[in-house]
Amino acid sequence: MSGTDAAAEAAKAIEAALADLGLSFESPRPGAYLVRLEGQHKLATMTWLIAGTHSLHVEAFFCRQPDENHAEFYRFLLERSGRMYGVHFALDRVGDVYLVGRLPLASVSADEIDRLLGCVLSYSDENFDPALMIGFASSIRREWAWRRKRGESLANLQAFARLADDSPDDLPDDPPGQTTG
């Protein structure tokens, strides 16, 4: 079977698997699928499945580069990568973190797509809060204080409540800037 035929067969298997799993997806070109995986800690993990000539490429954004504690943050991710199936943590040129993997086209099946997407979702969701606690603690504290001072909801920050400083210190008047997530 030629590489083109194998990629076409893999694309059919991916589409069938996504339909069976009830997952919606976008396909901007043949063999490329962008799937939204809904989580509890990381609300959505956007995941690419791309059938190439010889392999299936999997890629999902995890989070931007950390603001602080870089060595501890990257060590945390590296320690987990050694225990993961199908994908691992990787960095782009600016230090943003992704889950990436590559599988032979011959292994693409509905069961394998289900397993792979399940792994991407669980690795992303289970590691998201701990990674943010390490790499973005100062930003989270500022966001918490700013929201508390303004009476805004803290619901989506509850996982980080132990970072909150509930002392009546000076709280910021201005929005804390870009949040993580």
- Tens digit of each residue's pLDDT (9 = 90 or more) over 109-120: 999 999 999 999
Q: What is the DSSP letter of 155?
A: G
How far is residue 168 from each of residues 126, 149, 165, 177, measured CA to CA in Å? 33, 10, 8, 21
| Domains in the chain: ranges and CATH | 3-135 (3.30.1460.10), 137-166 (no CATH)
Residues 114-170 have pLDDT tens digits of: 999 999 999 999 999 999 999 999 988 988 888 888 988 777 777 787 877 653 444
- Torsion on CA atoms 41, 46, 49, 52, rounded to nearest 10: -130
Which pLDDT score, from 0 to 100, does residue 166 have? 56
24-71 confidence digits (pLDDT tens)? 999 999 999 999 999 999 999 999 999 999 999 999 999 999 999 999
The model's pTM is: 0.83
Helices (H), the chain: 3-21, 70-81, 110-135, 137-150
Asked if 50 contacts 33 with a C-beta cutoff of 8 angstroms, the reply is yes
SS3 state at 69: coil
Count of alpha carbons within 13 angstroms of residue 77, beta-carbon side: 28
